[in-house]
Amino acid sequence: MFKGSITALITPFRNGSVDEKAFQDLAAWQIAEGTHALVPCGTTGESPTLSHDEHHRVVELCIEVARGKVPVIAGTGSNSTDEAVALTRHAKKAGADAALVVAPYYNKPSQEGLFRHFEAIATSVDIPIIVYNIPGRSVIDISVETFVRLSALPNIAGIKDATADLARPLRIRAALGERLCQLSGEDATAIAFNAQGGVGCISVTSNIAPKLCSQMQNAWAARDFATCDALNKKLMPLHDALFCETSPAPVKYAASLLGKSTPDVRLPLVPASENARHRVEAAMKAAGLI
């Protein structure tokens, strides 16, 4: 079971290339600050613009740092089923603990197509799979009924839900009980998601505030609701700032203020605007991060 504060890692760039040292330093810092698991090569890691060689290398770099300390859930999704299978096979071979597989974007498959996509990956690679539902980026929404069908596959282990629909985790729990671990993909509603049946969050904000995010999830798990509520309120302005423009541009700027990365992103994304930078700086100061 994957749970707690799980960081969707940025991929630091320098002079157009992956900054391997910065990436591994970031992963090590995350572990030291209490992060419960790491996700390399997700959306926050700009996986759509990584070459296959870069993708493989970033997963391997993360595993080198995290092995034996925290789980690594490698992003292996694609809108090509064959490509997703290949990326997932590499993650398994490299030693990842699980794979995070996003719903196929752009293609707009039917619910049957979605089922068969995840079925093909799950039956091709023996590794736990977290199914990532994010209609805002992939256009299509994986229905509760499709999750019920997918749950019959033994290595479908969980869900990352970025729908912002707080009724969804309760509906899935009503249909499946505790069969799948449910992880939020929305920082701002992570605790509300837990209240409806979630067990943690795959977080963008934890790139910048790993200790605060892990403490909040730990407080929730311990039923220390006063501490959890105080941390949730403290983090809210930071969540807003880090999503004031398309992620991960704001969070990479925030990481640059901590000396963890350059603010560079790859086209078609562009660096955070001046207004976004001011918002990020203000939120980080309010949270005591700078």
172 is in an annotated binding site: no
Dihedral class, residue 279 (left if φ above 0, else alpha if ψ from -120 to 50, else beta): alpha
The pTM for the full model equals 0.97
Angle at which helix 81-94 crosses helix 52-66, to 10 degrees, equals 30
Reduced to 3 DSSP states, what percent helix, strand and coil does the chain have, rounded to the nearest 5? 50, 15, 35
Which residue bears the tokens 């859930």?
A: 73
Q: Which fold has domain 4-224?
A: TIM Barrel (3.20.20)
| Residues facing residue 150 across a β-bridge | none
Neighbour-count burial for 120-142, b at 16+ CB within 10 Å, e otherwise: ebbebbebbbbbbbbeeebebbb
159 is in an annotated binding site: no
Contact (Cβ atoms closer than 8 angstroms) between residue 148 and residue 112: no
Q: Is 69 a catalytic residue?
A: no
Q: Is 160 a catalytic residue?
A: yes
List the pLDDT tens digit at each of the 290 positions of the chain: 799 999 999 999 999 999 999 999 999 999 999 999 999 999 999 999 999 999 999 999 999 999 989 999 999 999 999 999 999 999 999 999 999 999 999 999 999 999 999 999 999 999 999 999 999 999 999 999 999 999 999 999 999 999 999 999 999 999 999 999 999 999 999 999 999 999 999 999 999 999 999 999 999 999 999 999 999 999 999 999 999 999 999 999 999 999 999 999 999 999 999 999 999 999 999 999 99
Q: Which residue in the list 92, 160, 252, 260 is annotated as catalytic? A: 160
Q: Which residue in the list 132, 252, 253, 260 is annotated as catalytic? A: 132
